[in-house]
Amino acid sequence: MSEVNTPNQNLTRRDFLKLTWAVFGGLALLETTGIFLAYLQPRLADGEFGSILNVGTVDKFPPNSVTHITNGRFYIVRLGDGGFLAIYHRCTHLGCTVPWDETQQKFICPCHSSEFDRQGTVKNPPAPRPLDLFPVSIVDGNVMVNTGAPIQRQTYETAQVVYP
Amino acid sequence: MNDDIPEPSILDRMRNRLTPDELPTDDRGRMRMVVDSLVLHLHPTKIPDRTLRWTYTWGLGGLAAVLMTILAFTGVILLNNYTPSAPQAYLDILKLNDNVWFGELIRNLHHWSANLLIIIAVLHLIRVFVTGAYRPPRELNWLLGVAMLLLVLGANFTGYLLPWDQLAYWAITVGTGIISYIPLIGNWLTRLILGGPEVSGNTLLNFYSMHIAIIPLIIFGLMSYHFWRVRKDGGLSIPKSLEESETGVEPKMERLTTIPNLVQKELLYTLVWIAVILVFAMLVQAPLEGIANPDISPNPAKAPWYFMGLQEMLLHFHPLVGAIILPGLAITGIILLPFLDINPKNVGVYFRSRRGRALVLLAAGLSLIATPAWVLMDEYLLNWNGWLPTWPSLISNGLIPLAVISLPLILLDDWVRKSFHADTEERVLFIASFLFTAFVVLTIIGIFFRGPGMALYLPWNMPASSH
């Protein structure tokens, strides 16, 4: 390409035209690819999943409970100390819906038998990281969950818990 | 105009225009007919008698083309009874099965032909591999074939979602979950393919357009190219016996006219297979489960059967290793084969040589023992994650087991080279046979031996799955 940038007597008119064709042809190709990809971008309608959900008052969830909120695709986990977590029910391995097993007190994925404790921490692979969280906020005693912003995490930390 | 010959009627004139008066009886006329015909001119006018040998090609490429034709016809008429939207798609399939004349039969034909096509395409690839028929000048046609195999898998996978039942929904969830492990672009690509964060009506539309338009168009384009290349590369590779290959004697060949020698065989073969598929489709229903429910994953949730080998690997490796690196290496190896293995000597000899035949048996036998042994060991003894709890799972559950299984393979290769004096092409054959057998074994384990919670069960002891 240095030939192009430095003035060069050897650049004939034919070469120049060839180069022009190549540059503009390449640009046109890039634009077409861009349009194609933009056209195929996910088109999400404003719906139940992806918005902020009000799942009810704080006292609806007793300590040490796990409640499946199916239309929001998450679990409300209330820990023994009263703290809240909203855990996305999608397995971090390959995306299956993880049911809560009340007798074993674990999330057990039916697809590849990954296991998670009530904080979402991996207890048994192949899941590579804890279950994702949704941001929880407590407004006037109501538990609000933002399902539009899943949080990926590598470990469980107490800072993730929200207290009323 | 002579008065003795009556003027042909309008019907006679139309018939004469559409079909020849009589079939040619001499070789010259038969060759002429091949050249003049739109369909038949895919073939040369004469072909070497040896390539007609049934036990050389097994008619696999031709059968794949027949299956593609069945799929195109059944696929197009299925469109008349299908709406690509959730949940209507599922209701349409129910209606197709219960209220549409021959609806169930057409769906079964489409379903079973698609599944058979995968098997036939893979066997076709194996036939070309073990007879060395991909060697120069046929490298490009090998690549076209590999591309079509991948597209056939893509067509099957996208078609799998269309019934919108539990089977479809979760197989596609798991299948696209694999894509998200591609480094850097995985998450973006998965979102693009799914049309959102999870499998939804948008996914159905995306898959529908891929399945009914984009992939078939590319496949039919490549098919034409593939056939044309067969002619350009000088026809099929010529089968040779071991003795001919060892003594270097050029085989004696006679060239026979395509009509009737090849055409007759093709027609017979096509008719037999259509009959087989038709009977099968009448007797065996294509599966259909309950309507897709995003809240409940069935236990076990299995990928389509042709991806069960891959899913089985996911149980043993971190997804980046099991679903991206290992299959990526396999496909790269398959693509590079005709550029690495270029010895023109024994093209057309099944398994290359006497030693080659022994090595294939040895490799398959070893793999039949080693693969289940490794699966059992990994299931019950090995626990890399537990032993190395602070290490990232990509290393403890990915790279370390990868190294552990690579080591015996390298030792085996070395042993074959030293003890059997195997040359490069025989070593390639040995390793490929070992790995392919391993993949088949993993697929069988995945399909028949994995039950609820993906635990190992004996097939006759399998607990019922929950949906």
**Separation of alpha carbons B170 and B198, rounded Å:** 11
Question: Residues of A with CB below 8 A from B192's CB?
Answer: 37, 40-42
In a domain, A24, yes or no: yes
Question: Nearest-CA residue of chain A relative to B173?
Answer: A95
> H-helix or E-strand containing B217?
helix B215-232
A56 and chain B in contact, CB less than 8 A: no
> Does the beta carbon of A109 lie under 8 angstroms from any beta carbon of chain B?
yes
pLDDT, tens only, B250-291: 778 899 998 889 999 999 999 999 999 999 999 999 999 999
Predicted confidence (pLDDT) at residue A125 exceeds the cutoff of 80: no
pLDDT of the residue at B353 = 87
Distance CA A127, CA B393 (A): 9
Pick B397's closest partner by Cβ from A73, A97, A126.
Answer: A126
pLDDT above 90: percentage of residues in chain B: 54
Whether residue A63 sits in one domain with residue A111? yes
Chain A residues near residue B180 by CB distance under 8 angstroms: 95
Q: What is the model's pLDDT at position A73? A: 87
Which helix (DSSP H) or strand (DSSP E) does residue A85 occupy? strand A84-88
Residue of A nearest to B176 (CA): A94
For A95, which of B173, B317, B385 is closest by C-beta distance? B173
pLDDT score recorded for residue A47? 47
List the one residue out of B175, B205, B164 whose CA is nearest residue B288: B164
Give residue-wise pLDDT tens across range B187-214: 889 888 988 888 989 899 999 999 999 9
- Beta carbons of B454 and A93 less than 8 Å apart: no
Most confident of A53-57, B127-131, B300-304, B344-348: B127-131
CA A11 to chain centroid: 52
| pLDDT beyond 50 at A45 | yes
A88 compared with B397, residue with greater pLDDT = A88
Contact B300 A111 (CB under 8 A): yes
Inter-CA distances, B25 with A47, B22, B33, Å: 72, 9, 11
Same domain? A61 vs A117: yes
What residues are paired with B47 via a beta bridge?
Answer: B256
Locate B159 and state its tokens.
């078609």
Write the burial class of residue B21 (CB in 10 Å: 0-12 exposed, 13-18 middle, 19+ buried): exposed
Residue with the bigger pLDDT between B386 and B339: it is B339
Same domain, A57 and A31: no
How many structural domains are present in chain A? Answer: 2
8 Å CB contact of B202 and A43: yes
Q: How far is it, in rounded angstroms, from Cα A7 to Cα A16?
A: 12
Q: In terms of residue numbers, what domain contains A113? A: 52-160
Structural domain includes residue A124: yes
Give this prediction's pTM: 0.88
Q: In whole angstroms, what is the distance from residue A159 CA to residue A147 CA?
A: 19
Binned at pLDDT 50, 70 and 90, residue A18 comes out as: very high
Structural contact between residues B130 and B351, judged by C-beta atoms closer than 8 angstroms: yes
How far apart (Å, rounded) are the C-alpha atoms in residues B88 and B417?
59
Instruction: Decide if A28 is inside a domain.
Output: yes
Q: Is A155 found in the same domain as A131? A: yes
Cα separation, B14 vs B11, in Å, equals 5
A8 lies in the same domain as A71: no
Q: Among A145-149, B42-46, B226-230, B233-237, which is the least confidently predicted range?
A: A145-149
CA-wise closest residue to B179 among B168, B170, B169, B187: B187
Domain boundaries, chain B: 42-296+319-324, 351-467
The angle formed by the CA atoms of residues A60, A64 and A69, to the nearest 5 degrees, is 50
C-beta atoms of A110 and B195 within 8 A = no
| pLDDT per residue as tens digits for the range B37-95 | 888 888 999 999 988 888 999 999 999 999 999 999 999 999 999 999 989 999 999 99
Determine the pLDDT at residue B186: 87
Least confident of B148-157, B272-281, B455-464: B455-464
Domain identity same for A74 and A146: yes
Let me know whether A64 and A30 are in one domain. no
The pLDDT value given to residue A44: 59
Please report, to the nearest 10 degrees, the dihedral formed by the alpha carbons of residues A21, A24, A27, A29 taken in order: -50
DSSP character string of B100-112: STTHHHHHHHHHH
pLDDT given for residue A8 in this prediction? 57
Mean pLDDT value across chain B:
90
Can you give the three-state secondary structure of A39-64, one letter per residue? HCCCCCCCCCECEEEEEEEHHHCCCC
Higher confidence at residue B209 or residue A146? B209
Per-residue confidence (pLDDT) for residue A131, from 0 to 100 = 93
CATH number corresponding to B42-296+319-324: 1.20.810.10
Residue A44 is assigned to a structural domain of this protein: no
Report the chain A residue with the minimal C-alpha distance to residue B391: A128
> What pLDDT does A46 receive?
45
Q: Which residues of A touch B397 (CB under 8 A)?
A: 125-126
Beta carbons of B297 and A42 less than 8 Å apart: no
Work out the pLDDT band at B366, boundaries 50, 70, 90.
very high
Q: Mean pLDDT throughout B397-424?
A: 88
Pairing between strand A106-108 and A100-101?
Answer: antiparallel
Within 10 angstroms of residue B66's Cβ, the number of other Cβ atoms is: 21
So what's the pLDDT on residue B311?
Answer: 85
Interchain contact, A95 vs B452, CB within 8 Å: no
Cα separation of B438 and B118, whole Å? 18
Whose tokens are 């229903």? That residue is B285
> Is the pLDDT confidence value at A1 over 50?
no
CB contact under 8 A, B296 and A99: yes
For residue B319, pLDDT over 90 is answered with: no
CB contact under 8 A, B297 and A99: yes
**pLDDT above 90: residue B391:** no
Among B140, B162, B129, B447, CA closest to B312: B447
Asked if residue A57 and residue A35 are part of one domain, the reply reads no
| CATH number of the domain bearing residue A77 | 2.102.10.10
